[in-house]
Structure 1
């Protein structure tokens, strides 16, 4: 996307930052902050390994076609283990121009304050997973969104694309470290092309103090399948 298009999205998001959601208790997104990068992500992952396992995330990557692991607002591990699959973060996908036809197409950037927060505070993070045309990805791709900093906002923008005739299973584990109040305002867009099949499994372990306001849009073309397990 060119700079003018990105600036227009930002302008619309800024105008919607105080726009309440249609449903659910209202949350003041401005009371939360983007956390600084921690001194050691390895220490955070070690401390939360049992929590990660509880939502199906295996740090060794065994049995998965690929991995995307994000702590707060930073991707700390991205790996692909099979052909016909791409896994990358949103910033890289935008730089390569591979999501221009999908970015904010299934979910309006100004739908409410939470979509606006993803554009303004998400740091262009979030996973982009693409099953290439005709690829049958036999094992799941694991993605994980972990919140570790108290009082922080995590606002990833995720995009999953299953190209024509491809098949993909994405398993996402979302969680907070114990007693970490914050706001998760993730946006996910799913696109299934003709004859494609996407199975999406969400497992979460949010702390009771965490405000969770996800926003999702799904576009399925003729002959495609989208199956969601929550």
Structure 2
């Protein structure tokens, strides 16, 4: 295994660009940064994800609290290296202005394929205050399918329940999504035939919170 190269295109952003990202997260809870991974990092993490897909377990819930369908697999050495050693300092701290610690128990490779979905929810702040989603493999975005799972839909908080749709964000391969999913309601609609998104789902909590 080679060590994944440093991730962030964010290190090349100027102050004005970072300010726009912070504003987007303040208003909508999420911001997608296209082409944020180096080609070496994308290739290495995607290779690891392909290997993990073969052993991924079906994750299905029909609970009224949070229905969902996907496949999940534990992270491998490349993902753990990226998340544990540099993701907070290189990616989260510039955007959120403080350090976070990686939560391995809440992080995994997630595979959404045709028929899979994730209903409207907010993340558990105790182990997933903020999220990084690394989009490692994704079918091409189809603009005619606004309700497709190729999009992430963000909703307003209406008396502690999901309210009006705030924004729909496409999720292209090679992008990194920054998420304040513990504060903002979000949803991935059911993927259509021929669609897929394979991602590294990484959860973080404040570094100031004791273990």
- Common fold: TM-score over 0.5: no
Q: Which has the larger radius of gyration?
A: 1
| TM-score, scaled to structure 1 | 0.28
Alignment TM-score, normalising by the size of structure 2: 0.30
